[in-house]
Chain A
Amino acid sequence: MSTWASILLVATRDFKERAASRAFQLSTGITVLFVVGWILVPTFLANDDLKAWSIGVVGDQPTGLVTAVDAASGGTAQSDTIEFESRASAELALTSGDIDIAIDTEGTVLVDNGTDDQLTSAVVTALASIEIATRAEELGIEVTELADLFTGGYKVESVSVADESGEEDRIFAFFATVVLFMSIVTYGSWILIGVIEEKTNRVVEVVLGTVRSHQLLAGKVLGIGVLGIAQVILIGVVAITVMSVQDAFEIPAAAGTVLAWALVWYILGFAFYAVAYAAAGSLVSRQEEAQNAAFPLTMMLMAAYFIASFSIGGENTILRVSSLLPMFAPMTMPIRIAGGDAAGWEIAVSLGLMVIATYGLIRFAGRVYAGGILQSGGRVKWREAFRTSDA
């Protein structure tokens, strides 16, 4: 069998077995539901958000008060009125919370600590507009003419071309980083567990009688990696569809570029860490030791994630330095690119180092894997695995 045929055979098995597993289907379903819920729930809440204002009125109620208040609220409220005999009874109702605001006959608006500022200004605006309409009528001006009186020939136009700070794009890139982080944590541990399982079952001895260890390693990373990307794409498509239907989120103008970069770094970052997880898994013989073996990788990953999450606001030295180092770059460089902070040469250097490091790691991990995978009983030191390796 050719190298590619062997790799594809292994990759197909890992892809199919994982995709068919209940754990995968369940986690995909839950994630999709979670994402959809996360997008939809705030929208539902916002729709139900018509405020019910209760306005106390002492004496005669000004004509058209409720309509004017609701209009002044910008359509976010639905008010009603309660009439009172005296200012004292209105005050009592206000302080006890039966009404939200009160209007006295003297033209005074009564509020208390609990009164919504928006309600106050809506009531004041409403009263003023009723007053203006009354006076205009006294002066013989028609209401329609009044509208002309208040309409100027000006319109507001924004001159800022785009958001200069790159903040929105950076947040978008950070989302991509979160997705990468979650994928590596999830699929990295799948690879880790899968490698250990093959080792403890001795099935690896049969498999390695037919394919080379680096082919098995590459197939495993490829199969689970493609499944991971497929899951991410599925979730992304669902999220974007729901968002565009709901109009809940405006995709930043530069999203296409940011997304393309995120994908490049996703693939590089995933390959780098997945290979490292496979090598770590080959060194131990029991599932209980899996987390210990992966500990240094988890630490590196966490560090990269924290640097990224503290840098949404903008550039800093740690972000700049870490974006050049292969173990951090997949999570930190996309944020700098999105914010427009990374110089062309920096991106080139970072990419170059990343590709070299990934290739080197594949060679190194392939050797550690070949050396560790057949040694059972206790934990193998990676130096030992590297030295005794036949690959």
Chain B
Amino acid sequence: MSQLGLASGDPYHRVGVAMLEIRNLRKRYGDVVALDGCSFSVQRGQLLGFLGPNGSGKTTTMRSVFSLIRPDDGDVRWDGTTIAPESRLRFGYMPEQRGLYPRMKLASQLSYFGRLHGMDKTAATQTARRWLDQLDLGDRADSRLEELSHGNQQRVQLAAALIHDPDLLILDEPFSGLDPIGVEAMMAILVERAQQGAAVVFSSHQLDLVEDLCEDVVIIAAGKVVLDGAIRELRSRSPHRYLDIELATSRTDLHTAFAEFAVIESASGRLRLRVDDNTELEPLIHRAAQLGHVRHFSYAPPNLSEVFREVVGQ
């Protein structure tokens, strides 16, 4: 993981102490290579976006942290040592979709997951109650999970992953299927856990959301990490810049005036171009001004989605 990202002075980052280390993981299923030397690490207090196209090995990596699969090569370490079953009890996992018993009552369900993670009965029962109250589901403690709305089920699922106050939280696609309010609530909880000192890793395909939420990302493709670092760094490290021009005109052929550049988007009076990061801007501003009154002119590094597409090749 980016040692660069740690230099930001964030008090929760303990520089040099990597809590979770994924080290050179390899895994094949027959002819299919799921992981091809995947390596990165996550610190306490860090909120890390784990990105990659479908089938790139995200879920396999997450499962290997919980020993749900055994890699052919490489290993996963926690605080510098191989993960012992007791320290794994201090982890929390929220798998993609569901991950709960549909017919079990909320209170007993949450306390069961607490106890699976080593809490005693009293503590598990009390914490389960507290979580339900916090989620405004206190009066539904004896409802079955399947009786809840989709959004409420997902909140209970998150509570199940958090009930034992884990040191490491791993979430597979936590935002999929949530409405904007649900997304916001989920984001708030993840930020809060990281601020309280947990290492938090989540995967997502909603890259604009990831950009808002966290500073650091790991991008994986075909089982290998292709990019790893602070989002700001990764964006500026790109050899490309994006030029947005908006003119007071309804012309739709603006792109013909910039034929030597890659046109990303062209609409009436608007244009988005991809240029090299050493492009001289002044001539371009003049060229734009000759076409009409310039309302907007911006030159910026790629956003996270564009970085993603550049490295993943899509």
Q: Tell me which residues across on chain A come within 8 A of B113, comparing CB atoms.
A: 206
Decide if B118 touches A1 in the complex (CB within 8 Å). yes
Q: How long is the Cα–Cα vector from A176 to B101 in the complex, in angstroms?
A: 34
Q: How long is the Cα–Cα vector from A212 to B88 in the complex, in angstroms?
A: 12
Q: Tell me which residues across on chain A come within 8 A of B161, comparing CB atoms.
A: 206
With an 8 A cutoff between CB atoms, is B291 at the interface? Answer: no
Distance in Å: Cβ of A190 to nearest Cβ of chain B: 13
Identify the closest chain A residue to B62 (Cβ): A205
Decide if A203 touches B101 in the complex (CB within 8 Å). yes
Distance in Å: Cβ of B116 to nearest Cβ of chain A: 4
Distance in Å: Cβ of A325 to nearest Cβ of chain B: 35
Interfacial residues of chain B within 54-107, with CB under 8 A of chain A in the complex: 63, 66-70, 85, 88-89, 91, 93-104
A 4-46 binary contact with B (CB < 8 Å = 1; else 0):
0000010001001100010000000000000000000000000
Q: Tell me which residues across on chain A come within 8 A of B117, comparing CB atoms.
A: 210
Decide if A205 touches B63 in the complex (CB within 8 Å). yes
A1-B89, A206-B160, A209-B91 known; A374 vs B99 contact (CB < 8 Å) = no
With an 8 A cutoff between CB atoms, is A233 at the interface? Answer: no
With an 8 A cutoff between CB atoms, is A93 at the interface? Answer: no
Q: Tell me which residues across on chain B come within 8 A of A207, comparing CB atoms.
A: 116
Q: On chain A, which size bracket covers the interface?
A: 20 to 34
Q: Tell me which residues across on chain A come within 8 A of B102, comparing CB atoms.
A: 197, 201
Decide if A9 touches B116 in the complex (CB within 8 Å). yes
Q: Tell me which residues across on chain B come within 8 A of A210, comparing CB atoms.
A: 88-89, 116-118
Chain B contributes a number of interface residues (CB within 8 A of A) equal to 32
A17-B104, A209-B66, A210-B88 known; A201 vs B115 contact (CB < 8 Å) = no
Distance in Å: Cβ of A170 to nearest Cβ of chain B: 42
Q: How long is the Cα–Cα vector from A212 to B68 in the complex, in angstroms?
A: 9
With an 8 A cutoff between CB atoms, is A77 at the interface? Answer: no
Q: How long is the Cα–Cα vector from A368 to B66 in the complex, in angstroms?
A: 19
Decide if B103 touches A390 in the complex (CB within 8 Å). no
Distance in Å: Cβ of B271 to nearest Cβ of chain A: 45
Q: Tell me which residues across on chain B come within 8 A of A17, comparing CB atoms.
A: 101, 103-104
Decide if B93 touches A390 in the complex (CB within 8 Å). no
9 contacts between A and B (CB under 8 A): A13-B112, A201-B100, A205-B68, A205-B93, A206-B160, A209-B93, A210-B116, A210-B117, A210-B118
Q: What are the 10 A-B residue pairs with the smallest beta carbon separation, nearest first?
A: A209-B66, A390-B70, A210-B116, A202-B95, A205-B95, A201-B98, A202-B99, A209-B93, A202-B98, A206-B99
